Amino acid sequence: MFSDLHLHSTYSDGLLTPSELVNKALEGSLQYIALSDHDCLDGIEEAKRAAKGSSLMIIPAVEFSCVIENVRKEIHILGYIKEYKNKKLRSLLKYFAEARTERAKGIVNKLTALGIEIDFESVKEFAGYGTVGRPHIARAIVKTGAVKNVWQAFEQYLSEGAPAYLPKATFSVEAAISAIHNTGGLAVWAHPPMEIMRNHIEYYRSVGLDGIEAFHPLLKSRDRRKVKKIAQKNGLFVTGGSDWHSIERDGPFGSYRTKSEDISEFLEAYFRTS
């Protein structure tokens, strides 16, 4: 049996709706999936409705963008949420969604000043009912003909250091972990950079980190073994996910998946306290 505990939908920067992701997961005979949109839980209800009556289990999740203050490095913390209707958490996420919108408007203004014929309404068409992010802006730039593809849009205009870039609002790692634990959930470090993880893992374990994403497409097998060893040494669970957004970015859905038995300790802990 296989699982994928890191998926993105149209509620953040993915190209498939939660229902479409569920259908893909059912076609691939997945056992568990986690919808883990950026700073957003709004797609969970749709995913649960789509999976109703099937054997597929939906784990509500959210991906927090965080900054390690002393080194100014961005990392991502996945929250596997129990009380996904928690009002305090949703209020916090709403604040960051509004901050993302203001950031996107600022980026569009910069692009306009650079001569790109783009407006915020055209960008919103790509976001649909989700929060506007840089991938949506990139697609809007492609539509103007200013660049050939999304990668070129990022390289020329949207990546850090590019002329239209603006930094995004972020959580502290401690705040993200606290918000996750307040729902009874589990906090996992997503696709951790090896050197940063080695330098910070003991501290984040001490403030409540529950696990590390040890199975993901960017991690080579030798590094996966190292991550699993670090997790074991620090008493942390391991999880796995594809971080799938679209076929254009990540290849066909299901081309990377995790054996459920390899993340069984995490699954048992999550459902034991549900």
Report the distance separating Cα 11 and Cα 93, nearest Å. Answer: 13
Two tokens at 118? Answer: 């783009």
CB 110 within 8 A of CB 104: no
Q: How confident is the model at residue 71 (pLDDT cuts 50, 70, 90)?
A: low
Q: Report percent pLDDT > 70 for the chain.
A: 99
* CATH 1.10.150 domain locations along the chain: 94-158
For 202-211, the pLDDT digits (tens) are 999 999 999 9
CB 18 within 8 A of CB 44: yes
42-56, 115-129, 171-185, 209-223 — which is least confidently predicted? 115-129
For domain 2-85+169-272, the CATH architecture is Alpha-Beta Barrel (3.20)
For 168-212, the pLDDT digits (tens) are 888 889 999 999 999 999 999 999 988 889 899 999 999 999 999
Q: How far is CA 6 from CA 40, 41, 63, 215, 220, in A?
A: 13, 13, 9, 10, 18
For 209-257, the pLDDT digits (tens) are 999 999 999 888 899 999 999 999 999 999 999 999 988 889 999 999 9
Report the distance separating Cα 157 and Cα 112, nearest Å. Answer: 11
Q: What is the mean pLDDT of the chain?
A: 93
The predicted pLDDT at position 274 comes to 58
> Comparing C-alpha atoms, which of 71, 69, 76, 68 is closest to residue 180?
76
> Comparing C-alpha atoms, which of 167, 118, 112 is closest to residue 145?
118
Give residue for tokens 């991502």. 76
Mean pLDDT on 141-162: 94
Tell me the CA end-to-end span of the chain in Å, nearest whole number: 21
Strand-pair partners of 96: none
* CATH 3.20.20.140 domain locations along the chain: 2-85+169-272
* pTM summary value: 0.89
Report the distance separating Cα 23 and Cα 48, nearest Å. Answer: 11
Mean pLDDT on 11-18: 92
CATH number of this structure's domain 94-158, picked from the four choices 1.10.150, 1.10.3470, 3.30.1540, 1.20.58: 1.10.150
The predicted pLDDT at position 68 comes to 83
